[in-house]
Amino acid sequence: MFYCSYNSQPGWLGRSAFQKLYALERSRSDPATPHQPFLRTIERLRPLLGTAEQPSPLGYSLPLLAADLDSIDLSHLDYLCGEYANDGWQPLYVADFHQRCLNHKLAPLGTATLPEAFDNLLAPSLQGPILEERNALIRQTLIDLATNKSFRRDLFVKGLDPLTLQDCEQRLAGLKFVAYQLPSLADAEKGGFTFATVFGKVQGDPAIYGPIAQALAAGPRTIGQLQELSGQPTAELLMILSLFLDAGWISFDRGDMARKATTTARACNPVLMELIAGGRPYGHLLLPQIGTAGPISLVEVLIYRAMADNLKGVMLATCVLMGIEQLGVHLLANDNKPIDDADKKIERIEALAAEFSAQKLPMLRRLGCLPAPQQR
């Protein structure tokens, strides 16, 4: 089996113009100042787009390029250099990449971006001209063109050996899922079970999606159990679970494998938190129950350590604030702007501590990341 994620056309057409000019700027720049060619490229390219009211020919042809320039964040320079400073950089149309794989006898198996496996999530206006195409590669090309796709995650296999329908149903029925960052049922229903996909926003019916989310919130469930609880057809249930997985609401339950990994994870995670608290560039902890790593911030680590020392309220917030300031880190508000007022900093940390204690900390413990609190 072969997996590959790659930048794809036509979504990268605008940024291709940026990358070409950036490559020229980089060739004449000092490697010791890697941010400079990015700045110069943005500064030189922006005036060439004209204005929203009067776009230039380039701005008219590439209307999304202005927003792409605004999204370039120089605080993530390592990512930008990896994305744009590669001499072999070349976004590909799906047909070109799949043909390269076929040359190596790799047959396309499907997508690793789960919602994209369901063509019925396409806008109704697009389904007719796309779904009537029987050639799989032309259909994928039509989908990418219609959705202006800029990123693909494709799976290939060497030697197709399809499962029988019975085998497929048996394997699916045994798959077990566990809640990861599942929102409260009230929050989900308020938002109408909305999911962002490359096909557009998907609105789930609370009467259908709600009972499935409620069952998963109560504990691990197999597809077979969820089907009995919900009464949904297999295809519909798989689509709903794929949306939940893609949104990060749920994950696969690793069962016995998770229990074996928990001891190691609980030994490793305190070391990671010590490094994060010391200003090292780490930001994740091991989650053995679901076999992945989950994000955690410096502020959350400092809050957890203060809680472990039985600090509460203003004392906890003051201790966390001292730790942040010792590392020269700015505390940010909800809008990601630095907070300058001392009292507002304390209020912000108290709010973050309440949220961490009520939501994230129980989730970390439930997924085997941290030991449960000792009884006193």
Terminal Cα distance for the chain, rounded: 51
Across 150-175, average pLDDT: 89
Residue 151's DSSP bridge partners are 7
Both tokens of 346, joined, read 């304390």
Kindly tell me if the per-residue pLDDT of 281 is higher than 90.
no
Residue 191: predicted pLDDT: 67
Both tokens of 321, joined, read 């604030």
What is the pLDDT of the chain when averaged over all its residues? 89
Residue 375: predicted pLDDT: 47
By the 8 A CB rule, do 346 and 321 touch?
yes
Q: Regarding predicted confidence, which is higher, 123 or 152?
A: 152
- State the DSSP H helix or E strand holding residue 179, giving kind and residue range, or none if neither: strand 176-179
Side-chain-side CA neighbours of 116 within 13 Å: the count stands at 18
Kindly tell me if the per-residue pLDDT of 376 is higher than 80.
no
Domain architecture of the chain: domains with CATH: 1-161 (no CATH), 165-252 (1.10.10), 256-366 (no CATH)
Closest to 296 in 3D by CA, of 317, 316, 330, 273? 273
Which tens digit of pLDDT belongs to each residue from 181-224? 888 777 766 767 889 888 888 888 888 898 899 899 888 999 98
Closest to 118 in 3D by CA, of 208, 206, 202, 25? 202
The CA-based diameter of the chain, rounded to the nearest angstrom, is: 71
Lowest mean pLDDT among 128-142, 181-195, 277-291, 293-307: 181-195
The phi and psi torsions of 46 (rounded to 5 degrees) equal -60, -45
Residue 320: predicted pLDDT: 92
